[in-house]
Amino acid sequence: MTTMTRFPVMSSRTISELMPGELPEVVMPSCESRPILRGQTAVVTGASSGIGRGIAASLCAAGANVVVNYIGSDSAADEVVHEATHCGCAHRGRAISVKGDVSDEEQVSALFRRAIEAFGTVDILVNNAGLQQDAPLESMTLAQWRKVIDVNLTGQFLCAREAVREFKRRGVRAGVSCSAGKIVCVSSVHEVIPWAGHVNYAASKGGVMLMMKSIAQEVAPWRIRVNSICPGAIRTPINRGAWETAEAYQDLMRLIPYKRIGEPEDIARLAVWLCSDEADYITGASLFVDGGMTLYPGFEAGG
Ligand code: BGC
């Protein structure tokens, strides 16, 4: 006689019913951080708003001197400098703002010259400047395609090249860091998630992925580390339409298993750690900070 083992059948309804209702408010850790970047200088591109702004403030709180690169309004950049240098952290570094377009070769050299003049050298580059110019494929103009590739991909190349030149020239600074330099590329979940209506943006981030890994491979023998952070939906001006109204926010939650939008600080905490010697054996990695957006959320209630 055979005995049948009965397995409970979990219907997708059961999984949906098991989902929690109200979730608690998120309380972010305070900015008081250990001075793990003391004595180092960081250039953060596109740092006058959004993720770049959060990263600039956190690097400064961790003891780094920060160059706030920006392209838009002078007063927004001044605010970031003020915020970063008045955060109350005892070991915070200094900060200056430097205007410049990352897609322009001459302006990128000028940015690094200015950083070296102000702080002596550059130890960290956060390749953050980026933008979206969305359109369906058939109406996307060549100008929209080029602008996004120029800023998001060519801009990261130009800044990485300048940083690597300085890292190699100077080498490891004993007592400051065990590596000769660190580059963090701010990529996106869209380096792996295709994005209809945003082919220029997804292509730029896919490009960042292999550019980052190829540079990481090339410069590793000089003890230079290169990694990417891949944010999901983070509450910044670039995607305001996706979180500003209650309906949009609810729609967005269908794409985020962790059921909250990300904050710039979620990205900034990783950026600080990745630039520190605590992450010394990490290079060539794309680290996703996305509340599970890359976990095929369409399957969260069963397949
Ligand atoms: C984009 C945002 C978008 C997020 C998730 C980011 O790279 O810039 O607009 O909300 O990816 O789709």
The answer to the question of residue 14 being in a domain is no
pLDDT in tens, 191-219: 999 999 999 999 999 999 999 999 999 99
With a 6 A CB cut-off, is 59 part of the ligand 1 pocket? no
Q: Is 201 a catalytic residue?
A: yes
What pLDDT score was predicted for residue 33? 72
pLDDT at residue 14, rounded to an integer:
66
- Whether residue 20 is contained in a domain is answered as no
pLDDT value at residue 88: 83
Separation between Cα atoms, residue 42 and residue 44, nearest integer Å:
6
C-alpha 36 to ligand 1 mean position (Å): 30
Q: Which pLDDT belongs to residue 22?
A: 77
Could you tell me the distance, in angstroms and rounded to a whole number, from the CA of residue 3 to the centre of ligand 1? Answer: 52
User: What is the spatial distance between Cα 12 and Cα 299, in angstroms, rounded to a whole number?
Assistant: 10
> Angle 155-170/199-219 helices, nearest 10 degrees?
10
- The CB of 132 under 6 Å from ligand 1? The reply is yes
Pick from 76-90, 100-114, 129-143, 222-236: least confident: 76-90
262-292 confidence digits (pLDDT tens): 999 999 999 999 999 999 999 999 999 999 9
- Does ligand 1 lie within 6 Å of residue 229's CB atom? no
Q: How many CB atoms lie within 10 A of CB 265?
A: 18
Q: What percent of the chain has pLDDT over 90?
A: 86
Q: Which residues make Cβ contacts (< 8 Å) with residue 215, sequence separation at least 6?
A: 160, 164, 183, 226
Structural domain count, the chain: 1
Domain holding 70, by residue range, is: 34-236+263-296
pLDDT band at 26 (very low <50, low <70, confident <90, very high): confident
> Is pLDDT of 6 > 70?
no
φ and ψ of 16, to 5 deg: -60, -40
User: Would you say residue 249 lies in a domain?
Assistant: no
Q: Which helix (H) or strand (E) holds 66?
A: strand 65-70
Ligand 1 atom nearest the C-alpha of 290 is: 5
Query: Region 247-255: what's the mean pLDDT?
Result: 97
25 pLDDT exceeds 90? no
Judging by beta carbons within 10 Å of its beta carbon (0-12, 13-18, 19+), is residue 172 exposed, middle or buried? middle
Q: Is the CB of 238 under 6 A from ligand 1?
A: yes
188 touches ligand 1 (CB under 6 Å)? yes
Would residue 71 count as lying in a domain? yes
Q: Which of 5-9, 74-78, 122-126 has the lowest mean pLDDT?
A: 5-9
Ligand 1 atom at shortest distance from the alpha carbon of 252: 10
* 209 assigned to some structural domain: yes
Pocket of ligand 1 contains residue 40 by CB under 6 Å: no
Confidence (pTM): 0.93
225: tokens are 């580390």
Q: Is 242 in the pocket of ligand 1 (CB under 6 A)?
A: yes
Q: What is the mean pLDDT of the chain?
A: 94
Measured distance CA(60)–CA(63) in Å, rounded: 5
pLDDT of 297 over the 90 cut = yes
Indicate which residue's Cα is closest to atom 10 of ligand 1.
233
Does any domain span residue 241?
no
Does 251 map to a domain?
no
CATH number at residue 82: 3.40.50.720
- Nearest residue by C-alpha to atom 4 in ligand 1: 233
Q: Which residue has the tokens 């980052």?
A: 212
In a domain, 286, yes or no: yes
Cα 188 to middle of ligand 1, angstroms: 7
What pLDDT is attached to residue 112?
Answer: 99
- The pLDDT > 70 percentage for the chain reads 93
Best residue among 190, 204, 249 to mutate for probing ligand 1, ranked by most atoms within 8 Å of CB: 190
189 lines ligand 1 (CB under 6 A): yes
Minimal-distance CA residue to ligand 1 atom 9: 239
